[in-house]
Amino acid sequence: MAHDKTTEEKLVASNRKARHEYFIEDTLEAGIALTGTEIKSVRQGRVSLTDAYAEIRDGEAYLVNAHISEYEYGNRLNHDPRRRRKLLLHKGQIRKLHSKVKERGYTIVPLRMYLTRGYAKVEIGLARGKKIWDKREDIAKRDAQREIERSSKSSFRER
């Protein structure tokens, strides 16, 4: 039986902090323009999206502050780890994102980077910042859910 490679994704990096810091209202898949040494580092999984964000400038979308480590076997043509990288989106998607970002409180954050059929993709999210009490509320909900699961497991064991 042939293995279906069309839906196979290899997760390279995820930004777990983004879902804690922001309310994610919409997500998009974007391609990313990389150089040769960058894609080799991405395939090795040497990517960090922790402080990264996306910006719209001159009708184009860019991924800013994403760290892709230098390729260890690269030469003098190796890339700058924190350079701006162009995101590949349709004009309509860029316009929609730009109009939302101009509204107060919205930003574009990368949620995860993955490889699909050899191409690097970035899942970006339209996000609105959380306040401190929102974060506390999320933590309380998570703890309550854990407690419910823990009590249901213990009652199941008692039978």
Residue 159 within a domain: no
- Count of structural domains within the chain: 1
Per-residue tokens: 105: 């409180």
User: Where is pLDDT greater, at 73 or 108?
Assistant: 108
**Residues 3-52: pLDDT tens digits?**
555 568 888 888 888 887 888 888 899 999 888 888 888 888 888 888 88
Strand partners, 87: 32, 61
Residue 51 within a domain: yes
Looking at residue 159, its pLDDT comes to 53
- Return all residues near 104 (Cβ < 8 A) that are at least 6 apart: none
CATH of the domain at 30: 2.40.280.10
Residue 93 within a domain: yes
Residue 154 within a domain: no
Question: Range of 59's domain?
Answer: 9-129
Q: 99 vs 28, 55, 93, 110, 117, CA distance in Å?
A: 15, 12, 10, 18, 32
**Residues 113-142: pLDDT tens digits?**
999 988 899 999 888 877 776 678 778 888
**3 state SS of 34:** coil
The answer to whether 122 and 108 have CB atoms below 8 angstroms apart is no
Torsion of CA 132, 130, 66, 114, to 10 degrees: 120
Identify the band that residue 1 occupies on the pLDDT scale cut at 50, 70 and 90: very low
Residue 125 within a domain: yes
**Length of the chain, please?**
159
Distance CA 88, CA 57 (A): 13
Predicted TM-score (pTM) of the model is 0.72
Structural element, H or E, at residue 152: helix 132-158
Instruction: State the DSSP code for 7.
Output: S
Looking at residue 157, its pLDDT comes to 56
